[in-house]
């Protein structure tokens, strides 16, 4: 059995485990969300940690929601002190964070209390070493989540507390150095992205001639546009529609070599060329799936994640699911690439416009896209704008790629360093150097 598969499975009874160094394991819960007496306004009340509050953080300094004493009593929750380690059993499985504030937790998390012969700082690093292994095990075993018993039975090395502290201090120092480099690379990528977005936004809303007369567009997200440009609803220039998901239980609808079927993840990359699954002719016919040929643009239209409002040029003939919309120009007045760049500029507008109340909250409808008024430069000017944008991006892309590669290597180095230190691959005397 591989190391990953053995993590939460049956291990030898003499295997050192996390439970051997725990003095307590604190469970959480969620007070009734419909009872206003359980939830505090503003900064009043006690912090209540959910996975979203801790899944991307090393330390929890604030929470989205606060609960009252009545809420705490309703679920018999414990208020844990700063310094407590909390651990995620669901979603961001295996993530560990430290409380910087007194807080309670929900049922997806566990809080750890330790005996006198263990350094919590070392436990933190040990669990960070285990996280990718836990995720791999969950994937290979189709295991949904961890539970308290599985967490208690995670392996834990027999290391003297003095050595635990030594290793933890070493990792604190070394990862801080790497984190500083990572933060610098991330800032550089963010600046490049800001420059890219500014370049595209200016080109698709002001054109290439800085001296061209301007006129109000009548839309806040556009501002002023060149006076010779038109403003038209997308529906006058293109066909807008979306797709669906055939029954996953009907084998007649799915095939390994059928017609490409795209899901919303394709808008993360442009052009969209990779199908996640393939459907049959029966599915196309009986489920009324659209068959879309390039040129067209795809737009993510649902969900709270970043894909809602994102766009991608369609790179293959395919059909789509219900979380995507397609916009297919039916006239030469609208260039597909220009539309793609324009929708990138409109991302924030599309997000805010779809955050309203009602049944469509958190969704962009095909009707909204069809009625969306966009600037329409002359056809040859659209092509010239796209050419200029591509040329500028071609210049910056090698630098962006180089920074991203460096960032990936630093992230891998950080993970490898943690594993090497907590598993004894780095001699203690080397950590002292």
DSSP one-letter string for 168-193: HHHHHHHHHHHHHHHHHHHHHHHHHH
Q: Please, what is the Cα angle at 390 between 384 and 395, to 5 degrees?
A: 130
Is residue 117's pLDDT more than 80? Answer: yes
Tokens of 128: 């960070």
Q: In this predicted model, what pLDDT tens digit does every residue of 254-282 receive, in sequence order?
A: 998 899 999 999 999 999 999 989 999 99
Q: How far apart are CA 193 and CA 180, in angstroms?
A: 20
All residues at 6 or more sequence positions from 209 whose CB lies less than 8 Å from its CB, including other chains? 226
Q: From residue 84, how far is each of 99, 120, 123, 181 by CA, in Å? A: 5, 8, 11, 28
Taking domain 160-229+377-433, whether its CATH number is 1.10.287 is answered by yes
Give me the helix-helix angle, 161-206 and 379-422, nearest 10°. 180
Homologous superfamily of domain range 233-376: DNA methylase specificity domains (3.90.220.20)
The reply to whether 160-229+377-433 shares the fold of 3-158 is no
pLDDT of residue 359: 39
Over range 363-379, report the average pLDDT. 95
Choice among 125-139, 169-183, 275-289 with the minimum mean pLDDT: 125-139
All residues at 6 or more sequence positions from 149 whose CB lies less than 8 Å from its CB, including other chains? none
Q: In this predicted model, what pLDDT tens digit does every residue of 240-261 receive, in sequence order?
A: 999 999 998 999 999 988 999 9
Task: Give this prediction's pTM.
Answer: 0.76
Helices (H), 26-116: 51-54, 69-74
Residue extents of the structural domains in the chain? 3-158, 160-229+377-433, 233-376
Q: Which of 102, 154, 160, 166 shows the shortest CA–CA distance to 128?
A: 154
Homologous superfamily of domain range 3-158: DNA methylase specificity domains (3.90.220.20)
């Amino acid at each position: 059995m591989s190391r990953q598969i053995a993590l939460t499975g049956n291990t030898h009874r003499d295997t050192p485990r996390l439970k051997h160094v725990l003095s307590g394991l604190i469970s959480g819960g969620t007070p009734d969300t419909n009872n206003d007496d359980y939830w505090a306004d503003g900064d009043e009340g006690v912090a209540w940690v959910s996975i979203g509050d801790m899944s991307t953080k090393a330390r929890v300094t604030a929470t989205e929601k606060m609960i009252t004493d009545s809420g705490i009593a309703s679920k018999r929750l414990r208020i844990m002190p700063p310094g407590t380690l909390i651990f995620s059993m669901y979603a961001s499985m295996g993530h560990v964070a430290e409380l910087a504030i007194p807080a309670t937790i929900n049922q997806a998390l566990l809080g750890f209390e330790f005996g006198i012969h263990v350094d919590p700082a070392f436990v933190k690093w040990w669990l960070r070493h285990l996280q990718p292994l836990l995720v791999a095990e969950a994937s290979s075993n189709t295991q949904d989540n961890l539970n308290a018993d599985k967490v208690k039975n995670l392996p834990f090395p027999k290391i003297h507390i003095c050595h635990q502290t030594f290793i933890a201090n070493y990792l604190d120092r070394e990862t801080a150095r790497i984190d500083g480099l990572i933060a610098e690379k991330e800032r550089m990528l963010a600046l490049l992205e800001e420059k890219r977005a500014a370049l595209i936004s200016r080109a698709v809303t002001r054109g290439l001639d800085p001296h061209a007369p301007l006129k109000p567009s009548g839309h806040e997200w556009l501002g002023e546009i060149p006076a010779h440009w038109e403003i038209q609803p997308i529906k006058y220039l293109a066909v807008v529609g979306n797709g669906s998901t055939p029954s996953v239980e009907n084998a007649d609808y799915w095939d390994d070599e059928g017609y490409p079927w795209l899901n919303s993840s394709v808008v993360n990359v442009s052009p969209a060329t990779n199908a996640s699954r393939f459907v049959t002719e029966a599915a196309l016919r009986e489920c009324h799936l659209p068959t879309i040929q390039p040129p067209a643009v795809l737009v993510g239209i649902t969900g709270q994640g970043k894909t809602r409002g994102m766009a991608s040029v369609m790179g293959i003939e395919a059909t789509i699911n219900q979380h995507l919309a397609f916009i297919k120009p039916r006239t030469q007045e609208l260039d597909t690439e220009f539309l793609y760049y324009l929708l990138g500029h409109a991302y924030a507008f599309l997000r805010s416009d779809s955050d309203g109340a009602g049944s469509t909250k958190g969704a962009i409808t095909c009707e909204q896209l069809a009625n969306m008024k966009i600037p329409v430069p002359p056809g040859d000017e659209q092509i010239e704008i796209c050419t200029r944008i591509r040329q500028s991006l071609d210049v910056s892309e090698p630098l962006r790629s180089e920074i991203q590669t460096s960032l990936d290597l630093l992230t891998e180095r950080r993970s490898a360093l943690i594993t090497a230190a907590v598993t004894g691959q780095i001699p203690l005397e080397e950590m002292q150097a």
